[in-house]
């Protein structure tokens, strides 16, 4: 075996392995992996592999659950279409909207954040509009809200 070949073999055997830790943050959680690389014999970059696992973050009701507010006018004239609107602040998931009213009917907007309520024939009636939110974490304690309006003459 030639002396040059022995030197190359000796250099390859003496090369150091470098280890680094990589932390990644993603929408589903955090994970840590280890990367091992071998710098080789000085003639090029080393190679390595990276492995890691991601675990979902713990549930946080303040961050994961939306605050729900429903607004309606205090009173409307009979026969008018009353606008009722929901505002969601924060939360995760894609919310869905299901409205019910205690009297009258949802004239338009079912499945959205804003509805109109038909108040025909409801003179002197209080109408409660209730919103049920879906598509949010099941651990959320509050998934509904209401607003009340009075139908006048």
Domain chopping of the chain, boundaries: 3-55, 61-152
- Judge whether 46 and 35 are in contact, CB under 8 Å: no
Q: Per the confidence metrics, is the pTM higher than 0.85?
A: no
Give tens-digit pLDDT for 5-40.
Answer: 333 333 334 444 444 444 444 444 445 454 455 555
Class of the CATH domain delimited by 61-152: mainly beta
Backbone angles phi, psi at 66, to 5 degrees: -75, 150
* Residues of the chain above pLDDT 90, percent: 56
* CA 85 – CA 72 distance, rounded (Å): 7
SS3 at position 8: helix
């Amino acid at each position: 075996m030639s002396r040059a070949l022995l030197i190359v073999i000796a250099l390859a055997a003496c090369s150091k392995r470098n280890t680094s830790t990589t932390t990644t943050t993603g929408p589903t959680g955090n994970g840590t992996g280890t990367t091992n690389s071998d710098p080789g014999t000085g003639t090029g970059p080393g190679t390595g592999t990276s492995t890691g696992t991601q675990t979902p973050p713990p549930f946080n009701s303040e961050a994961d659950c939306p605050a729900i507010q429903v607004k309606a006018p205090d009173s409307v004239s009979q026969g008018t279409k009353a606008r009722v609107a929901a505002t969601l602040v924060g939360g995760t998931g894609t919310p869905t909207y299901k409205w019910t009213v205690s009297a009258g009917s949802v004239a338009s907007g079912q499945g959205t954040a804003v509805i109109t309520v038909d108040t025909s024939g409801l003179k002197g009636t209080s109408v409660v509009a209730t919103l049920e939110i879906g598509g949010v974490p099941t651990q959320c304690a509050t998934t509904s809200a209401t607003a009340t309006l009075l139908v006048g003459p």
